[in-house]
């Protein structure tokens, strides 16, 4: 009889220990990362947005004309200084966006057919060009208002003689500007993604100017998810990400997923010597129809 009681006690103890462990473990669980709020950007911060506005229907299609008004309304609410868009269908769509957002925007759309990348800036001066033969890659220089420019962007480079323009040439014509690459990497080939991401990273790295790389990179080296369900070469995607992360800082790190299904595909990378990250994350609840990406927003403070 005594042994029966001991057995019952031991059982109870084990069940109690299980319950206590579960409760304590659950209480220590960290909450999911907060999504980006829509407060105005801090004084002196550059607000940057990247958004793949395409849809998932028919294996992926550009922005539908019926959604332009909603996209414009969301972008107006975000109050960004610089917007990178992927999967824009036509010049007409980007003109409509500018018009609906108040008109004081400069915009650029990559040349080509089908799904294209584009960008918009609200203040300052934008110079952009498409990568030859690639409607999914834009390289731009953006000269923002002076208070949004990192100090090192207008300081002489070592050996710069200043007046003779040598320094300007050494910078590749990007003095007082931010150099920006907007990229929509291939969705189906890890090899093509590796080539485009690596080439963009190398291209940016050639210049000492403040640098941003924005876009839908279609890679997700997540912490606890099997990526091989989505990639034809998981390891190559890991290599692509790390090649880029060694050169630029990932603003959206730890901010959670930006696309369906629970994947972080959209990125804002910045040169850490020129910017300080204030806040970044996806804005949730702004997908309509078959849209499958959230806008990813980052507030960057220029280092002065």
Partner 1 sequence: MAVRLELLKMGRSRRPWVAASTLALFLALMLFGFYTYAQKETGGQAEFRYTFENASYFNGLTFSLYAFYFGFVLILPIFAATEAGAQIASETHSRTIHLMLARPLSRRRLFLTKSAVSLGYLFLLVGGFLALSLLLGLVAVGWGDLNIYPGVLQMTSQHQSLPQSQALARFLLVWPAATLGLLTTLSLALLLSTWVGNPVNAVGSSVAVYLVLYVVSEIHFFEDLRPLLFTSHLAYWRALFQEHIPWNQVVSEALSLGGFAFLFLGLALWRFRNREEVG
For residue 303, the minimal CB distance to partner 1 (Å) is 20
Based on CB atoms, which residue is closest to partner 1, 199 or 278?
Answer: 199
Based on CB atoms, which residue is closest to partner 1, 77 or 191?
Answer: 191
Based on CB atoms, which residue is closest to partner 1, 14 or 38?
Answer: 14
Q: How far apart are CA 71 and CA 101, in angstroms?
A: 10
Based on CB atoms, which residue is closest to partner 1, 142 or 267?
Answer: 267
For residue 241, the minimal CB distance to partner 1 (Å) is 6
107-140 exposure pattern, b = at least 16 Cβ within 10 A, e = fewer: bbbbebeebbbbbbbbebebebebbeebbbbbbb
Q: How far apart are CA 208 and CA 192, in angstroms?
A: 27
> Which of 198, 213, 187 lies closest to 87, judged by CA?
187
- Look at residue 242 and give its three-state secondary structure: helix
Segment (H or E) for 288: none
The footprint of partner 1 (CB under 8 A) covers 3-4, 6-8, 10-11, 14-15, 17-22, 24-26, 28-30, 191, 194-195, 197-199, 201-202, 221-227, 229, 234, 236-243, 245-246, 250, 253-254, 261-263
For residue 30, the minimal CB distance to partner 1 (Å) is 6
Q: How far apart are CA 32 and CA 223, in angstroms?
A: 14
């Amino acid at each position: 009889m005594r042994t029966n009681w001991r057995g019952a006690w031991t059982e109870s103890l084990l069940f109690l220990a299980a319950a206590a462990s579960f409760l304590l473990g659950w209480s220590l669980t960290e909450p999911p990362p907060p999504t980006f709020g829509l407060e105005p950007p801090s004084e002196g911060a550059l607000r940057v947005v990247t958004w793949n506005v395409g849809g998932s229907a028919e294996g992926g299609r550009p922005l539908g004309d019926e959604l332009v008004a909603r996209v414009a309304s969301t972008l107006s609410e975000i109050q960004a200084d610089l917007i990178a868009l992927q999967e824009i269908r036509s010049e007409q769509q980007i003109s409509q966006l500018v018009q609906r957002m108040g008109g004081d925007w400069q915009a650029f759309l990559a040349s080509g057919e089908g799904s294209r990348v584009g960008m918009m800036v609200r203040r300052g001066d934008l110079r952009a060009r498409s990568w030859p033969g690639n409607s999914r890659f834009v390289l731009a220089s953006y000269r923002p208002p002076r208070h949004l420019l990192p100090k090192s962007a207008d300081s002489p480079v070592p050996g710069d003689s200043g007046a003779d323009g040598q320094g300007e040439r050494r910078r590749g014509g990007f003095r007082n500007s931010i150099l920006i690459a907007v990229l929509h990497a291939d969705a189906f080939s890890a090899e093509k993604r590796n080539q485009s991401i690596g080439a963009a990273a190398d291209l940016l790295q050639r210049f000492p100017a403040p640098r941003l790389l924005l876009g839908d990179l279609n890679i997700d080296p997540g912490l606890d998810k099997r990526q091989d369900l989505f990639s034809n070469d998981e390891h190559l995607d890991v290599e692509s990400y790390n090649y880029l992360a060694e050169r630029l800082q990932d603003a959206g790190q730890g901010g959670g997923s930006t696309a369906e299904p629970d994947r972080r595909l959209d990125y804002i990378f910045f040169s850490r010597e020129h910017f300080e990250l204030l806040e970044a994350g996806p804005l949730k609840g702004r997908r309509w129809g078959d849209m499958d990406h959230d806008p990813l927003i980052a507030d960057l403070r220029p280092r002065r």
